[in-house]
Amino acid sequence: MGVNYTALGQYDKALAEFLEAAALNPDSAILYSNLVYNYCRLNRFSEAKAAYQLAISRKLDYPLLHSNRYGIAFLEGDVEEMQRQVEWASGQLGAEHRLLSYQSDTEAYYGRLGKARELSRRAMDSARRAGEKETPADWEMNAALREAEFGNTAQARNTTAAALALASTRDVRVLAALVLARAGDSDRAQKMADELQKQNPLDTRVNGYWLPTIRAVIEINRKAPTQAIKILQTAAPYELGNPDPQPGIGATMYPVYLRGQAYLLLHHGSAAAAEFQKFPDHRGVVVNCPLGALARLGLARAYLLQGDTAKARAAYQDFLILWRDADPDIPILRAAKAEYSKLH
């Protein structure tokens, strides 16, 4: 029940189930990992850390326990703790690749895409050494998502093709359809979405969250943002959730991000700002997902549409400061700098 509530984004209900489960089975490392995870989702970081410490004091260990502690350290800017968790995982089959991929998201969050790519490659190599079959493709699809959102569409398509060649599982195809749509290949994305619906007619996560997300992108590509917003209504009950596949520590909140993008196209600045504001409001859900950084740019563009130059300038500055060490050739960064320069 706790896992299901987590997938649906009902973190209060999930936490209640996990607390009851932990009372029944206090020596379960998995349950402590889930407690850390859900406390984090509710922005209750002190309680999350206390649950982690209790597990450690009981000599309980589990890779996701350390992954979730890494996420809290990221949210608190605790670089030393992040590094401790990475070092704990180093050389451990089944744990190392996960922390390496989460590190790649951290680098991408700050626009350091070259470092993110290298860490993703290392995560894939580590997963192969651990005998994983699908996981290397998951990490490659995570990298492809970043490329698409940052504006490197050709790279995104190439990385997606490589991931599909590794493992053409349901989860990989879900992410592949999304990346292809974001990279402008709407026809292929539509075909994959139709196949996924046919093959998974009763899957709540696929039909309630991911297919509306993919189809909304296709409508945005077609310059039909009103239709995209309508399609995303299906995903609204789950938009803060963590339905598989979610390859990072944090949830992508893709329906929220895309709704914001659609409102920008409609020049509805206040509605767009309300969507992008959900990312800083739910930091414990997003963690180090790169969309959390890009939402700051979305806010800047939304404020600009409202005619609030002061707020727009401040939001652009927030994004550009966050990306002060970013690779300079990232298309979305170049666009942000050009937009910001026009405000002076």
253 token code pair: 């909140």
3-state secondary structure of 289: coil
Does residue 245 have a cis peptide bond before it, meaning omega lies within 30 degrees of 0? yes
* CA distance linking residue 163 with residue 177, whole number of Å: 12
> Phi/psi class of residue 253: alpha, beta or left (left: φ > 0; alpha: ψ in -120 to 50)?
left
Burial profile 195-220: b = 16 or more Cβ within 10 angstroms, e = fewer: ebbeebeebebbbbbbbbbbbbbbbb
| Largest interatomic CA distance in the chain | 61
User: 147 CB contacts (<8 Å, ≥6 apart)?
Assistant: 153, 155, 156, 159, 179
Structural domain contains residue 306: yes
Q: What is the CATH number of the domain that holds 111?
A: 1.25.40.10
Structural domain contains residue 45: no
Structural domain contains residue 69: no
User: How crowded is residue 1: how many other Cβ atoms within 10 Å of its Cβ?
Assistant: 12
Q: Which pTM value belongs to this model?
A: 0.97
3-state secondary structure of 341: helix
Structural domain contains residue 25: no
Structural domain contains residue 33: no
115 token code pair: 């470092």
* CA distance linking residue 215 with residue 23, whole number of Å: 42
**Number of domains making up the chain:** 1
39 token code pair: 């406390």
Structural domain contains residue 18: no
Structural domain contains residue 64: no
Contact of 282 with 240, CB cutoff 8 Å: yes
- Helix ranges, 133-185 (H): 135-150, 153-166, 170-182
Tell me which residue of 250, 165, 261 sits closest to 213, measured CA to CA.
Answer: 261
> pLDDT per position in the chain (344 positions), as tens?
999 999 999 999 999 999 999 999 999 999 999 999 999 999 999 999 999 999 999 999 999 999 999 999 999 999 999 999 999 999 998 899 999 999 999 999 999 999 999 999 999 999 999 999 999 999 999 999 999 999 999 999 999 999 999 999 999 999 999 999 999 999 999 999 999 999 999 999 999 999 999 999 999 999 999 999 999 999 999 999 998 999 899 999 999 999 999 999 999 999 999 999 999 999 999 999 999 999 999 999 999 999 999 999 999 999 999 999 999 999 999 999 999 999 97
Helix (H) or strand (E) holding 34: helix 29-41
Q: Which domain holds residue 160?
A: 90-341
